[in-house]
Amino acid sequence: MRNYTVGRIWGIPIRLNISLLVFLPILAYLIGSGQQLELYGGFIADLAGQDLEVGALREARWTIGVLAAVGLFAGVLLHELGHSYVALRYGIGISSITLWIFGGVAALDRIPEEWNREFWIAVAGPVVSVAVGVVCLLSLPFLPAGYPVLLFVVGWLGVVNIVLAVFNLLPAFPMDGGRILRALLARSMPRARATNVAANVGVGFSFVFIVFGALAFNIILILIGFFVYLAAKNEARVTAIAEALDGFTVGDVVTRSPRTIDADASLEELADRVLDSRATSFTVVDDGEYVGFVNLDHGIRKVGHDERATTKVRDVMTSSDVVLDAGSPAFDGYVEIATARADHAVVERDGETVGLVGLGDFYEVMQIASLGVGKREEMPEEHVKKLERGYV
């Protein structure tokens, strides 16, 4: 879904996801409903030591809804800045902070391998949220009388920030509590195993959220449950891939002698090459230089039999904007290709193209690596030789 950059803090791009822009009016409506006003009105009035008539609040319910909704996501932004501040102190960059329907995401350039660093980065967000909530609640007695809208919004934000901080500390990976759990588990077990344990706990919580959401007819809780489930499974998968590719470079993954075909060759010639070699993908060259990539899906299968003799490979090939250095870590290359949703990437060494690499190549290396103990330098010699027969 599309994101809109609205500013920068500490050089970090702050982005709004379109889902948030759609959800904000709905949230404002829900907050401004009579239920919310009655539920929190009396409690806030007691804390403030001032009268707070529900009737007066109802007259300004839409103003309250809008201010509270915007204030809530301002609190979410502060929460993510808490994560970001600690990460930056550890020398970890933040590529962006994105606010969306389920809160916010601070995109770290990398997840720290040290358990204590991940622990403090994860804790920082809820600490900031609790601090925001406490400041809001403590300020209530000092707010000027005669401003019921201001009084309610500040009190509501105080309560909600604390409640969300506590909710976020549930060990439902990948919420903050789940990351804290993984950090603590990683003290005494491998990171991949700690991730799997935390992810399984997260999956358990996701089912609890979905069941309770269904019983209470709460669509938000149901959606949170599905989000936690998918995110926990994905995090476990990505961590497993990172562990499997640890110790390998992009140069270990790219094929040594890629099958090539001339850009001006016809698709009929390409079909013959496919039959002869049993290969389904080829690097496209023009005067010996890489110009693209072609496979069965976006090549032969999209063109009718009668047109294959007159259609050139260059007419159906794809090119890649993703360029990887052969010496960079394999996992970084995998992430870059997956993030760009590219079919493949060009691999260069010292400025010269040495081949192409796709996600399938990474999976093949992981499969071969699994024959050993997972890291290239620790693999048995015969397995390293098997790997090097097809890769550079």
Q: Is the pLDDT of residue 383 over 60?
A: no
Residue 156, pLDDT score: 82
- Give CA 254 to chain center in angstroms: 26
Per-residue pLDDT at 278 exceeds 70: no
Distance, C-alpha 73 to centroid of its chain:
19
Dist. CA 143–CA 150, nearest whole Å: 8
Q: What's the first-to-final CA gap in the chain, in angstroms?
A: 37
Residue 128 has pLDDT above 90, yes or no: yes
What is the pLDDT at residue 54?
64
Stretch 24-47: mean pLDDT: 72
**Amino acid 263: pLDDT:** 75
Domains of the chain: which residue ranges?
A: 3-169, 192-245, 250-390
Q: In which band, very low, low, confident or very high, does the pLDDT at 132 lie, cut at 50, 70 and 90?
A: very high
Q: Each residue of 225-252: pLDDT tens digit?
A: 887 777 777 777 777 777 777 778 887 7
Q: What CATH number does the domain located at 250-390 have?
A: 3.10.580.10
Instruction: Give percent of the chain with pLDDT exceeding 90.
Output: 5
Q: How confident is the model over 111-128, as a mean pLDDT?
A: 87
Please list the residues that pair with 283 across neighbouring strands: 260, 293
Q: What integer pLDDT is reported at residue 56 of this predicted model?
A: 67
State how far the Cα of 195 lies from the Cα of 233, in Å rounded to an integer. Answer: 10
Answer yes or no: are the C-beta atoms of 232 and 173 closer than 8 Å: yes
For residues 55 and 83, which has the higher predicted lDDT (pLDDT)? 83
Say what the pLDDT of residue 303 is: 65
Q: What is the pLDDT of residue 373?
A: 46
- CA–CA gap between residue 132 and residue 117 (Å, rounded): 23
Q: What is the pLDDT of residue 34?
A: 63
Q: Which of 76, 83, 94 is nearest to 11 (CA)?
A: 94
β partners of residue 348: 325, 353
Q: What's the CA gap between 73 and 19, in Å, rounded? A: 13
The per-residue pLDDT for range 353-368, each reduced to its tens digit, is 677 777 777 777 777 6
Judged against a pLDDT cut of 90, whether residue 210 lies above it is answered with: no
pLDDT category, 256, cuts 50, 70, 90? low
The neighbour count for residue 146, using CB atoms within 10 Å, is 8
- pLDDT at res. 379: 47
Could you tell me the pLDDT band of residue 127, with boundaries at 50, 70 and 90? very high
Q: What is the pLDDT of residue 297?
A: 62
Indicate the residue type of 181.
L
Q: pLDDT by residue (tens digit) across 181-199?
A: 888 888 887 777 787 788 8
**Higher model confidence: residue 178 or residue 335?**
178
3-state SS, residue 254: coil
Mean pLDDT along residues 151-179: 84
Split at pLDDT 50, 70, 90, the class of 130 is: very high
Checking if the pLDDT of 217 tops 80, the result is: no
Which pLDDT score, from 0 to 100, does residue 387 have? 41
Is the predicted pLDDT of residue 131 greater than 90, yes or no? yes
- Residue range 260-285: mean pLDDT, rounded: 73
